């Protein structure tokens, strides 16, 4: 494999010295870029884009041509595993992801296959291989999956939800059914991420988008314990290189200590927690990723730079910080503003890395 020209992102996750704080953006490959919209139109629909390795590669590389990002992230969707389980993922304009079939009973769970990543999810592995080849060692490639809890919410609800009544009904009325589903999903995610690593992903991330809708007790019961199972089952070194693992729970700021104790290398932060407070709580146990409010990118250049400097000052000196947004970049953010953000991180972070 080609030697990495820029390994700041991996070094920061492993709390090794860097010359400036590395930065990438959640959803950096996507709909805020006009060149993405052109490829999306060419593909015909979102799933056609996801399942075409060449187009997925092109979309992954697009933001790297515009911005001096320190990592690339695989262009895919968190719901590929449920789709490979036969639930029929589709997208309706303005309504987000939906499934043709939902999981309601113990029998439904029993019928679900654990997908073979090189069969029903081969298009993802082919995309990873294609991207890694075309990156030519420019920056590391991040692979990812949704968390078991987050995947289960879509599988039980049938799509996005505001109140999560169906899955919470299952959690409290038939917990054994939900635990069986979550356990099967954890096994599937382990296989999926390990296959991404074997295909070329140099770091992996688990997105627990909906963990924050649970109570503290239920978060540990239905979300965290399954992410911990995944962390313990992942390939942590491949071809002589360590493979860092990041866990991100949206609205999970109250549980940072518990997340850090799973054995992961880094904890992702959304914008609802002060990074100085987060660092004080987890100490040197893990690296931190985050955590600018994506909406700051609507602001003028000077305001974006001020926010960047405030967050850098909050983390302070030393390594172990990967700068990111607190969630995905919004679709109507001007691309130039994303550039201001990336450049500001590089410019103002050097003073924190003696």
Beta bridge partners of 322: 289
* Six-digit token string for 120: 């029903």
What's the rounded mean pLDDT across residues 14-26?
97
- Mapped to the 3 state alphabet, what secondary structure does 154-171 carry? HHHHCECCCCCHHHHHHH
Binding positions for substrate:
27-31, 77, 154, 209, 327
Statement: residue 118 has pLDDT above 60: yes
List the catalytic residue out of 8, 11, 32, 77.
Answer: 77
First-to-last C-alpha distance (Å) of the chain:
31
Is residue 209 pLDDT above 70, yes or no? yes
Q: Compute the average pLDDT of residues 278-290.
A: 95
- 102's CB contacts (< 8 A; 6+ apart) are 87, 108, 155, 156, 157, 158, 166
**Cα-based torsion angle of the residue sequence 59, 62, 67, 69 in order, rounded to the nearest 10 degrees:** 40
- Show binding-site residues: 27-31, 77, 154, 209, 327
Provide the pLDDT for residue 280: 97
Predicted confidence (pLDDT) at residue 95 exceeds the cutoff of 90: no
Contact between 203 and 243 (Cβ < 8 Å): yes
Model pTM greater than 0.75?
A: yes
Chain length of the chain: 354
| pLDDT for the residue 42 | 92
Question: Mean pLDDT lowest for which of 61-65, 282-286, 334-338?
Answer: 282-286
Rounded Cα gap, residues 255 and 220, in angstroms: 9
- 8-352, CATH topology level: TIM Barrel (3.20.20)
Segment 140-177, tens digit of pLDDT:
999 999 999 999 999 999 999 999 999 999 999 999 99
Average pLDDT over residues 100-107: 97
Q: Tell me, what's the pLDDT at 1? A: 53
For the segment 14-28, the average pLDDT, to the nearest whole number, is: 97
> Does the annotation mark 77 as catalytic?
yes
Residue 275 makes CB contacts below 8 A (sequence gap 6+) with 269, 288, 290, 291, 311, 314, 315, 321
Q: Pick 283 or 235 by higher pLDDT.
A: 235
**Res. 10 pLDDT band, cuts 50 70 90:** very high
Known catalytic residue at 350: no
- Reduce the DSSP state of residue 23 to 3 states and report it: strand
pLDDT one-digit tens code per residue, 40-85: 999 988 999 999 999 999 999 999 999 999 999 999 999 999 999 9
Half-sphere exposure of 119 (CA within 13 A, CB side): 8
Average pLDDT over residues 188-197: 98
Q: Is the pLDDT of residue 94 over 90?
A: no
27 is catalytic: yes
Q: Please state whether beta strands 237-238 and 241-242 pair in parallel, antiparallel, or not at all (unpaired).
A: antiparallel
Residue 325's alpha-carbon distances to 137, 195, 199, in angstroms, are: 24, 27, 27
Does the pLDDT value for residue 2 go beyond 80?
A: no
Closest CA to 293 of 315, 274, 313, 314: 274
Annotation marks residue 40 as catalytic: yes
The CA distance from 6 to 133, in Å, is 15
In this model, does residue 302 exceed pLDDT 80?
Answer: yes
- Of the chain, the percentage scoring pLDDT greater than 90 comes to 95
Show me where the domains of the chain are located.
8-352
Distance CA 51, CA 53 (A): 6
The C-alpha atoms of residue 55 and residue 63 are separated, in whole angstroms, by 14
Q: What is the pLDDT of residue 253?
A: 97
What's the pLDDT at 56? 97
From 40, 126, 132, 340, active-site residue = 40
- What is the pLDDT at residue 343? 98
Instruction: Report how far residue 102's alpha carbon sits from residue 82's, in angstroms, rounded to the nearest whole number.
Output: 10
């Amino acid at each position: 494999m080609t030697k990495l020209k820029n390994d700041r992102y991996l070094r920061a996750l492993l709390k090794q010295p860097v010359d400036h704080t590395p930065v990438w953006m959640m959803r950096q490959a996507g709909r805020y870029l006009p060149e993405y919209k052109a490829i999306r139109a060419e593909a015909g629909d979102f799933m056609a884009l996801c399942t075409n390795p060449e187009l997925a590669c092109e979309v992954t590389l697009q933001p790297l041509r515009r911005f001096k990002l320190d990592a690339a992230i695989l262009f895919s969707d968190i719901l590929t595993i449920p789709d490979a389980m036969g639930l029929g993922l589709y997208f309706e304009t303005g309504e987000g992801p939906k499934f043709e079939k939902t999981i309601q009973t113990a029998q439904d769970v029993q019928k679900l296959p654990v997908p073979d990543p090189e069969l029903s999810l081969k298009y993802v592995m082919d995309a990873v291989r294609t991207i890694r080849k075309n990156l030519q060692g420019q920056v590391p490639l991040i692979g990812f999956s949704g968390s078991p809890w987050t995947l289960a919410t879509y599988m039980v609800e049938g799509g996005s939800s505001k109140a999560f009544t169906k899955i919470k009904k299952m959690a409290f009325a038939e917990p054994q059914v939900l635990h069986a589903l979550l356990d099967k999903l954890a096994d599937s995610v382990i296989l999926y991420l390990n296959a991404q690593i074997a295909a070329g992903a140099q770091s992996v991330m688990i997105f627990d988008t909906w963990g924050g809708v649970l109570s503290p007790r239920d978060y540990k019961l239905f979300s965290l314990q399954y992410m911990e199972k995944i962390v313990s089952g992942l390939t942590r070194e491949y071809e002589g290189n360590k493979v860092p693992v990041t866990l991100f729970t949206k609205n999970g700021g109250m549980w940072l200590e518990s997340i850090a104790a799973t054995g992961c290398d880094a904890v992702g932060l959304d914008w609802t927690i002060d990074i100085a407070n987060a660092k004080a709580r987890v100490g040197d146990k893990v690296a931190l990723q985050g955590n600018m409010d994506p909406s700051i990118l609507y602001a003028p250049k000077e305001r974006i730079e001020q926010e960047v400097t405030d967050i850098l000052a909050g983390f302070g000196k030393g390594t172990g910080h990967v700068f990111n947004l607190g969630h995905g970049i919004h679709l109507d953010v001007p691309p130039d503003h994303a550039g201001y953000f990336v450049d500001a991180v590089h410019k103002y972070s050097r003073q924190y890395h003696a």
